[in-house]
Structure 1
Amino acid sequence: MADTSQSSASALQISLVGGGLASSGTASATNDGTTESISGNTNPPLAVLGGQNVISAGVLGQYVRAYNDGTSAACAGVLGSGGAITIGPGGACTVTPGAEVTLTLGTNGLATIDLVADAIYSECTATSSPSATGTATLVNARIVSTVLGVPTTLLSLPANPAPNTGLSVPGLLNLTLNGQSSSGVGQLTVTALDLSALGGSLASVVIGLSSCGANAVAPPIPVIPLAGAPVALGLGALAAGTGGFLVSRRRRAGRS
């Protein structure tokens, strides 16, 4: 038996005030030690988000792998049109940014507030040792206010933020970058960007949710299968009995 593994990924979740939700869904991978099973759409179209007006163009990626050596990997996020995201050798995310992707977060007076980036994604890997690691990457990401067609950058987002980095645009937005949480050793969930809007119809946007582990070490296999144990014991008893019979015959021969 080989080690088991698991992972999951979700590219984008949009929550609206009043309970509306638009989601790219979740892709999941499991391996029972011999066979990898993947469910869900790893490259969903924007149409799965329904009639929301937050994002109108771009690429959603939510890729997962689960190997029979006890390792697993996931990467998830949003890229501009023409971009690509997948899992390369060793479980690392391979990302090719495309055009800019724009998520419209709402309005503030005459200003339209947008999240603009080339790519925003998270990735994680886990092993059965057990261990788990994860990171988030934001390529040319920023919060932009546009008034009468003139854009102004309100906040530039770091490309490789430290775990659980908190930022804000006072009175407008609260953000957590590279959010990391774990339910135990060998398991890790990474969120590239979690944004909460202050006011308006948009409640939150979650981009790039990747989860890896916990993966399990396969139990050892006995040298002698349990089904063969009675046979082995029987042969041992027979050998012992034969030895006793020979000794007895020798003793009798010595008396005569």
Structure 2
Amino acid sequence: MRKVGPGIARVATALAGGLAMVMVAASPAMADTSQSTASALQISLVGGGLASSGSASATNDGTTESISGNTNPPLAVLGGQSVITAGVLGQYVRAFNDGTSAACAGVLGSGGSITIGSGGNCTVSPGAEVSLNLGANGLATISLVADALYSSCTATSSPSATGTASLANARIVSTVAGVSTTLLTLPANPAPNTGLSVAGLLNLTLNAQSSSTTGQLSVTALNLSAIGGALASVTIGQSSCGPNAVAPPIPVIPLAGVPIALGLSALAATTGGGILLHRRRRAASRS
């Protein structure tokens, strides 16, 4: 009886390697999901009127980032309101493939800019001074004046989330006959949920932070409610990050294709085995 030739051994080895490759291809891969949202400015008027910059949002399924909304809306989106008439609205968002996300939102003076770097850091370049008209108190005009007012946050799929608020050179000012007086100076980097007020005029919450679950954080640079007048409230710089998570395993070969892959492997193995048996029978008949 003849021995099995080296060609048949090579076929068997190739089939075994092919089956191993199928099993490796069918093994799952992990993908971290991430998300964030941002809104620059919301203005509420007594009687129900609302002016809003809208919002931008980012999501990532572990492989592809999707961003929707306007990240740099013009002041025209606020309609005919008279609270802010010059400045820059920024609401930037990112959701990265590694399960991290970032958001940065707020109001700057004309010529200012907000960006989010590849590492999720919020970078702000203040422009000219920005002023928000909060209404009148007798002969005085009350304003919120600043170089920049914004919040930022980051989140990971570990899960964790952090956030901050920055109020650059911010203050509440009363102006009478062209002469301005500072009523309240706001801290540049306030602690979370800092409450301040101007007696009889305004209530403020700086760096307002809240969380719906572990790994999620919402940060608002400044919430302001007016006492009397036509203006009800102003909300500046809303950023939200997370929750991000490690997604369930995703097969490299889709589940629907695994039976096909395994079937092809089995067919290859059967065909190889048939060839081997046929060669042996021919060898036996010639003995």
Please state how far the C-alpha of 1:223 moved relative to its aligned partner: 9.9
Equivalent position SS for 1:70: coil
The aligned counterpart of 1:148 is 177
Call closer, same or farther: CA 1:219–1:155 in 2, change over 3 Å.
same
The Cα shift of 1:26 comes to 0.4
Q: 1:13 to 1:223 in 2, by over 3 A?
A: closer
Cα shift at 1:30? 0.6
Do structure 1's residue 161 and structure 2's residue 190 form an aligned pair? yes
Code of the aligned partner of 2:110: S
Would you say 1:87 and 2:116 are equivalent positions? Answer: yes
Q: Which residue in 2 is equivalent to 1:2? A: 31
Structure 1 unaligned segments of length 5 or more: list them.
239-256
Q: Quote the residue 1:22 is aligned against.
A: 51
1:139 equivalenced with 2:154 (yes/no): no
Instruction: Read off the aligned partner of 2:60 and give its amino acid letter.
Output: N
Match of 1:112 in 2: 141
Provide the rounded CA distance (Å) in 1 between the counterparts of 2:115 and 2:96: 16
Match in the other structure for 2:209: 180
Q: Which has the higher helix share?
A: 2
SS at match of 2:76: helix
Pairing 1:127–2:156 present: yes
The Cα offsets for residues 134-167 of structure 1, whole Å up to 9 and x where unpaired, read as: 0000000000000111000000000000000000
Q: Which of residues 83, 94, 105 in structure 2 aligns to 1:65?
A: 94
Q: After superposition, what is the alpha-carbon deviation per residue over 1:172-197, rounded to whole angstroms, capped at 9, x for unaligned?
A: 00000000001000000000000000
3-state SS of paired residue (1:91):
coil
Q: TM-score, normalised by structure 1?
A: 0.88
Shift of 1:222: 7.0
Instruction: Give distance in 1, aligned partners of 2:71 and 2:231.
Output: 26
Cα displacement (A) at 1:128: 0.5
| Structure 2 residue runs without a partner (length 5+) | 1-29, 270-287
| Structure 1 residue 127 displacement after superposition | 0.4
* Distance in structure 2 (CA, Å) of the matches to 1:221 and 1:36: 17
Shift of 1:90: 1.2
The root-mean-square deviation of aligned C-alpha atoms, in Å, is: 2.1
Q: Residue type of the partner of 2:137?
A: N
- Equivalent in the alignment of 2:78: 49
CA distance in structure 2 between the partners assigned to 1:222 and 1:120 by the alignment: 45
Instruction: Give the distance between the partners of 2:83 and 2:65, measured in 1 at CA.
Output: 35
Q: Percent identity?
A: 83
SS state of the match for residue 215, structure 2? coil
What secondary structure is seen at the aligned counterpart in 2 of 1:89?
coil
Find the aligned partners of 1:33 and 1:222 in 2 and give their Cα distance. 13
Provide the rounded CA distance (Å) in 1 between the counterparts of 2:253 and 2:43: 56
1:102 to 121, 127, 131: 131
